[in-house]
Amino acid sequence: MDTVKNVVRVGIADMKIVKAPQKIRTSSLGSCVGVVLYDETTKIAGLVHVMLPDSSLGRLESFNRAKFADTGIYSLVELLKKEGVNPNSLKAKIAGGAQMFQFGSKDTIRIGPQILKRSSWSLADYQSLSLQKIQVDQEGVQLSLTRYRLN
């Protein structure tokens, strides 16, 4: 049974890190993408809930780095490094990016697949990462990480 203090919840356009035995969770992904990075050696994990694909969509000089795939993933890696994690030992799990909205037969908003693609590109910058993608449908998905293992 999960106790409240052992489950760290990550909101939309947010990122957090945990250490075992804590668990980390986000929900309501839909077109958003959840990226979990973890190190089995140190038992430290982080999760970023990304809303948009690229920080070039940001309008201000100061913006929420967790909101965008490119800056969110980079910032999460930097946070994990400050906790002593070696980026070469990280594994990744990614979920979300559903095609949520369709209007007519030709006009579609493809923000979910764009976020998923940009997230994959950002993770590719860390070539040693082991990556697992989780398929999602239009209903969205909840992503949580328990025991820091890929299934």
Alpha-carbon distance values, 24 to 21, 70, 100 (Å): 10, 21, 25
Residue 121 CA, chain-centre distance (Å), reads 13
Other Cβ atoms closer than 10 A to 19: 12
Residue indicated by tokens 């909205």: 101
Residue 148's region, left for phi above 0, alpha for psi from -120 to 50, else beta, is left
Q: Which helix (H) or strand (E) holds 130?
A: strand 130-134
* Distance from chain centroid for Cα 56: 19
Find out whether 133 and 67 touch, Cβ atoms under 8 Å. Answer: no
Q: Which of 13, 24, 32, 37 is catalytic?
A: 32
- For the record, the structure tokens of 1 come out as 């049974």
Give catalytic status of residue 80 as yes or no: no
Amino acid at site 133: K
Question: Which residues are designated catalytic?
Answer: 32
